Amino acid sequence: MTSENFIIREIKSTDNIELSKVIRSVILEMGAPKTGTAYEDKATDLMFETYQKEKVAYFVVEHNNKVIGGAGIAKLDNCEANICELQKMYFLPIARGKGLGTSLISKCLEKAKEFGFENCYLETMPYMEAARKLYKKNGFVNLDKPMGNTGHYSCNVWMLKKI
């Protein structure tokens, strides 16, 4: 399977159900807790609506007309600085190891730069090793403490990248 079969595009309202299944199945697959993660976020069921505000964007990865992953950016909540957050980046196994993560991060950061953000923040978990490697490879560095308030108290790895 080649990456030509994969499409990265902006989210559509018809993606909500498939995308919420992707997010929750990856959280369970990784053994992450349901509480304090995107699993219990109301936004997980309303991804299209959540990303219809100003200075936000969400992109999905599609394969054979099926949503298999995605990621978005939005201003970091409860933070005075001009910082966006890389949000809800999840991939089903079929999408992993094909360079799609880097492509998606690039697309999100391009949009963040367009919006005028100076830095991009993210949160993940220690045992999501592939994700942490991907973020490091793309220039994110570890922080000692969280920024803003995402409500994801189970995510205790914090990273930042200058855009």
Q: Is residue 150 part of a domain?
A: no
Look at the chain and report how many structural domains it folds into. 1
CA angle 119, 124, 126 (to 5 degrees): 130
CA distance linking residue 26 with residue 92, whole number of Å: 6
pLDDT at 75: 96
For residue 93, being part of any structural domain is answered with yes
Q: Is residue 158 part of a domain?
A: no
Sign of CA dihedral 144, 159, 138, 55: negative
Residues of the chain with pLDDT under 70: 1-4
Q: Could you tell me if residue 145 is inside a domain? A: no
Does 129 map to a domain? Answer: no
Dihedral sign (CA 18, 151, 42, 109): negative
* pLDDT tens per residue across span 36-83: 888 888 889 999 999 999 999 999 999 999 999 999 999 999 998 999
Q: How many C-beta atoms surround the C-beta of residue 40 within 10 A? A: 15
Tokens representing residue 23 in the block? 């997010």
Q: Report angle CA 47, 49, 51 to the nearest 5 degrees.
A: 70
Give the residue carrying structure tokens 């697959």: 29
- Say if 76 falls within a structural domain: yes
In a domain, 26, yes or no: yes
Please name the amino acid found at residue 23: I
Q: Where are the alpha helices (H) located in 51-128, listed in sequence order?
A: 100-114
Task: Tell me what pLDDT residue 152 has.
Answer: 80
The answer to whether 68 touches 81, Cβ cutoff 8 Å, is no
Per-residue pLDDT at 36: 85
- Predicted local distance difference test score (pLDDT) of residue 150: 85
Give the pLDDT score at 122: 97
Output the six-digit token pair for 75. 């201003």
**Host domain of residue 8:** 3-117
pLDDT (0 to 100) of residue 3: 54
**pTM, whole model, 2 decimals?**
0.92
In a domain, residue 127? The reply is no
pLDDT for 127 equals 80
CATH at residue 49: 3.40.630.30
